[in-house]
Structure 1
């Protein structure tokens, strides 16, 4: 019986577009003969072919994919996998509607979301900041803070934020992720969850502030300002810390807990309402770090008096990591 498997091929990709790519690999050799090749896309069998090229179509724009191939012979012997080729399709040409205000009295002064922390100042009604981006994973909760600026006395401002989750070039009612009715507050904050149906890749986020009433996504209004940003939607991916590293990302936390003994501690109240989070079962010299669900570190310090002041955190879900001299533990908590 033939028990010898074919040799592995070497795979390459070229000509990647918004919806496809071209795969090419060298012919495998076998003691009897190769009968075909299995082509895998993201770890799933896509097709079987006798050729050594394949034009892949039907891909989504601005999306990462990986491919590999295996060779097989008539006896059912299968080679080891080829090298894995990673490709990212280009973004489809999308045109967004215009929206702008007038900044004689007020303007958006600062936007904070994930790794975006933009002090923009007065942009005369519209600021294009699509070169600034942050990564958000599907199913995660993100927190946004918007700070207005006034030319004189404070005034009632209303806010809306949209993210084009399906990347179709428009902002639907189901893509409104944050709104705040008119208020004179020095800043407004809120949390939202990235839907599991959001398309992977980069897309547009629109932040709009209008005097005395909620704006619409494509409105030209008299008093207020609009700013556009880029959001990168990932599947289970984690953003980096503000310092450019991900050593303290949520994934790194999980790995660290595997390497050291798990710290068992109690956390209360959860949800926390009055701004103080208490815990027990921790050494007096312990330290803590607080992360968003997307992995961004937003607070740290010494765990003195078995309590942490979280009053300044926006409402949302967070990860608390506590470390003492011998162990590390993590728990989620909700800030209301």
Structure 2
């Protein structure tokens, strides 16, 4: 027996018949709207919330997520109710019986089920109590959970993966967002919406410290990015609260001590967020697009901002008629280009509702001949530093069209000529360098007294390695930095009292083609299977768990995916539905090519 029209019409009656809302639970909400109501609900559902731990979820699913309500319209067979495999219109493709079937390893659908964070746990760094909050963590098929990964929920245009119950991964056609999204089947879209709305209410005061994941907002209200909020509001309206949701809310309250208010009172959703804003007006076209500052593999772009009745959300950059990247500002550096080649660019503005402008003017740019991609990208020999001084203070200068600042620095020491000497400070460029960075080289020497140690090197705020120093002059290189686009270098002396002279700083441009030839096999790292099967890439090598970041690029140099701490729990990378083609995996320890069939 599946969900019928009658059961849908009766869903509102079920709310009153089945909900076991404690008397007075929502006291103090009468007359409130907007952010005030949302904050009041946050207070209510925070009180009484008991964190039973991540492992406790397995036992909780015995009562919270079982298909055992006759009025649900599902099988009522007491199996685990999995929103990624339940088929409301026919036989389920597979089922799981409690308590067996918990993941475990899987290779396909139907192998096992695990704990799916509807709001990805990576967004809040797996911290409690979020990591074990049953109101947004559902038991779902392991394979489909892995395919969904940490993508936001939205409407899919062209699916790269479709599960056996019709859940899909693919490009977004939700207005205002064009990235990859995951779309559940219609029967559970309202369930997903209300779980996410619960999350941004329960944890509204912490949202500013979470990663957005292209879904969460950075402030307590509204708590979600505009495109995601509008999509969830539409799903909430189209898929009303069901008997199974009410039962799950009651059982979750028994287990955890708090409730999802948007299941108990669906009307709260509109009282807080209203209805989606209908925006049909497109932005004006960007103007004055110009190409400048070419290197052998990069060209910088700038343009005059568009205007919009509500606001411009992003600009899409096109290179020779093909989409290259989306940016939020009015400048960009296009990387991964070939030397001595002319490229044509135009830019299109879009707003949060997905309305797009007409194209800007076309700007042409020609890369320099120079060396091959990955060649020299910048140098600083410190010949332009301020006049000799033995005092320690802030020093500023410009060399090779890049401005520099050194803090707690003196200028009277030499290494291979003039050098900047840092005591308790740092050296950084205050105008960005273009062309990315593949490797960085510097010559160092410890001056006066102290002990040997290392300088910390950050690129765009991320630590990428260290440069040693001692009383003997030495030249050192950090390889495989592999950062594209604009670059800010920061070299910090972390040891108080040591005075370290830096000279002959240089770095190479970033090139995926160049790094791809530095095959991981030479360093003892291998990837398999290659070509990749089932969007799962495995890596073999020593000390994998020490790798801090992995990046995936296509052969045009476009960054496709970033994975922080990729091998923290396994040696597998989920490629999130990559289309067929050639790609490059680059980490802080190795880089190599792979193929997706």
TM-score for the superposition, normalised by structure 2: 0.17
Answer 1 or 2: higher relative contact order, Cα 8 Å, separation at least 6. 1
- The structure number with the bigger radius of gyration is 2
Structure having the higher helix fraction is 2
The TM-score, its normalising length taken from structure 1, stands at 0.25
